[in-house]
Amino acid sequence: SQKIEQNSEALNIQEGKTATLTCNYTNYSPAYLQWYRQDPGRGPVFLLLIRENEKEKRKERLKVTFDTTLKQSLFHITASQPADSATYLCALDEDNYGQNFVFGPGTRLSVLP
Amino acid sequence: KAGVTQTPRYLIKTRGQQVTLSCSPISGHRSVSWYQQTPGQGLQFLFEYFSETQRNKGNFPGRFSGRQFSNSRSEMNVSTLELGDSALYLCASSLTGGQNTEAFFGQGTRLTVV
């Protein structure tokens, strides 16, 4: 069956450290994968997109990798800050036609001062 | 520019009733998608509209329907409400949908069915 999982429901790290979140999928062939941030009571906010033929993408303190052999994406936040505390969602889409995201369950990240 | 606007923000309905939710996308965006978010199932795709046509559909029963108007505004309708329909309903707009286009989400409509 098809499944998309994120490494843990919750992750606590110390301020200044690098947070690494994992997204694994089974029986999907994503054309691209996106990462979103969601704060309580708000809609998700787009962070990064990575295509199937790309290995790595960076944006400021954020980095995402995509390994189609391992069927895994890693999302890194370097020099984490308490303001980075939120739920992070990965989402994949199997085609390039239209928008039909499958979202992971999310990882709730808490950055402790 | 203004973001994605969803109305109403909160709604309480009784089982068996129907409900209509509204989404105004970012100006110029032609793709509008709808999602249901619950603690148990997470974010699940309902359907996507592009240029007034449903382009993609998720695995939800026919009680869930939608439409898109010529100005790209979209509505979704849920008929014969069930307790399990209680959720946060989110819409997302993008320029064209698909690869290379990020989705911008609204704040959602919190629907409670009693």
- Mean pLDDT of all residues in chain A? 92
Contacts of A106 in chain B (CB under 8 A): 42
What is the token pair recorded at B98?
A: 């698909």
From chain A, pick out residues whose CB is under 8 angstroms from the CB of B99.
Answer: 31-32, 49, 51, 93, 96
Predicted confidence band at A97 (pLDDT cuts at 50, 70, 90)?
confident
- Mean pLDDT on B10-39: 96
pLDDT, greater one: A7 or B47: B47
Instruction: Read off the pLDDT of residues A22-36 as tens digits, 9 standing for 90 and up.
Output: 999 998 888 889 999
**Top-confidence residue, B98 or B17:** B17
Identify the burial level of A42 via C-beta atoms within 10 angstroms of its C-beta, where 0-12 means exposed, 13-18 middle and 19 or more buried: middle
pLDDT at position B20: 98
pLDDT band at A96 (very low <50, low <70, confident <90, very high): low
Of B42, B58, B108, the CB nearest to A106: B42
pLDDT at B93: 94
Check: CB of residue A6 under 8 Å from CB of residue A25: no
The whole-number pLDDT of residue A93 equals: 83
Contact A8, A107 (CB under 8 A): yes
- Taking only the tens place, the pLDDT of each residue in A43-55 is 999 999 998 889 9
State whether residue B54 sits within 8 Å of chain A by CB: no
* Structure confidence at residue B99 as a pLDDT band (50, 70, 90): low
**pLDDT surpasses 80 at B75:** yes
Whether chain A has a CB inside 8 Å of the CB on B53: the answer is no
Rg, Å, chain A Cα set: 13
